[in-house]
Structure 1
Amino acid sequence: MTDTPLHAKTPHVVDARFMEPPEPFVQTMEMLDTLQPGEKMLLLLYREPHPLYQVLTRNGHAYSTELLPDGTFEILISR
């Protein structure tokens, strides 16, 4: 988890591109717990997290995914 970096979409970012499972999931869930209603977080990964999508949907979180040219998946998650 990064120390509140500046990002155009949200200051709440988990850069998990170089983390091994299950660390990206753990860090994402921990950050989601700190967000206030209406806030968003951004998860950065080099693979698409299909199991995470199921958990987010089950827990009522909205998300959108964008694949960047460098292979990064940006997953913007709303609380």
Structure 2
Amino acid sequence: MLVIDNRGLEPPQPMMRTLKALEKMDEGEKLSIINDRRPMFLYEELNDLGYLHETEPQEDGSFKITITKTGD
């Protein structure tokens, strides 16, 4: 599983990096991203695309979001 660390980046960089990585992935593959904050606008985009996502708060205050790419 690919992991992208987006901590320290200002919006919209984390979302752009995440969506670009998802474009290159195949259906059923998973991507984990680590963000400084909950990516509210990314959630909307993922929901529109039909991708599954799960968010886990981390001890350092960041958030790990695991995204499963579903059929396009």
TM-score between both structures, scaled by the size of structure 2: 0.91
Following superposition of structure 1 onto structure 2, how do residues 35-74 of structure 1 map, counting pairs within 5 Å?
Answer: 35-74=25-64
- Structure 1 residues not aligned, in runs of 5+: 1-9
1:19 aligns with 2:9: yes
For residue 22 of structure 1, report the CA deviation from its aligned partner: 1.0
TM-score between both structures, scaled by the size of structure 1: 0.83
Higher relative contact order (CA 8 A, sep 6+): 2
Q: Could you give the per-residue CA deviations for residues 38-72 of structure 1, whole angstroms, max 9, x where no partner exists?
A: 10001101100111101100001000000011112
**Aligned positions, number:** 69
Divergent runs of 4+, >6 A: none
SS of residue paired to 2:44: helix
Q: Name the Cα RMSD after superposition.
A: 0.7
For residue 13 of structure 1, report the CA deviation from its aligned partner: 1.5
Q: Percent identity?
A: 36
